[in-house]
Amino acid sequence: MNTDNHFADKVEFKEVRAKVVESVGHVLVLADGGARFFRTTMILAQRSSMSIYSDDFLSPENLFWSYGQELTEGDHHFDVKSLFRNGYTSPQHQQVYSAKSGDVYVSVTKHSDRSFTHDGWFLNVRFEEDALKVSLSGSFKTTFYY
C-alpha cells in the first residue's frame, strides 16, 4: 500500500479522495407501528464489517454488523444471529444490539485496482428490547480500497 501522502496539488488530492469510497444504500425501517424509508450514501465498509448511516447529518441513525472474519471474493449468506456483532441506533438515540432474527447476503468482488465491492441486502433484521422493537430491510453497494 502506498503510504506517500504527498500530492502535486489540491486537485489531485480531491480526485484520489473521490475514488476511495462510492456507496449507496436503501433502508426500510418498521418500528412503532409505522414505516419509514431512507436512502443513504454514507456506508463505511471493510472486508470484515459494514456500517450504514443516515444521510441526515443531524441524525445518529445507523445500522452495523461485523462478520467476524474478512470476507473472501464470492457470495456469502449470514443468519444475523451468527454475526460477531450487530446493532442499530434510532433517530432518537435509542441503541439496540444483537438482532433476534434476519439475514444478510453479500457478494464480494475484488477489482484489479485493489478495490473491493460489497453488493448485498439484508432482510427482516429484527431487534427487540424493552425500549425499541424494530425490523430493518434494505440493500447496499459500496466500493472501497483495501
What digits encode the pLDDT tens for the residues 20-79? 467 899 999 999 889 999 999 888 888 899 999 998 888 999 999 999 999 999 999 999
Q: How far is CA 76 from CA 71, 97, 102, 107, 126, in A?
A: 8, 22, 14, 6, 20
- Beta strand spans in the chain (E): 21-31, 34-40, 42-46, 49-53, 62-66, 74-79, 85-89, 95-97, 101-110, 115-128, 133-145
What is the pTM assigned to this prediction? 0.82
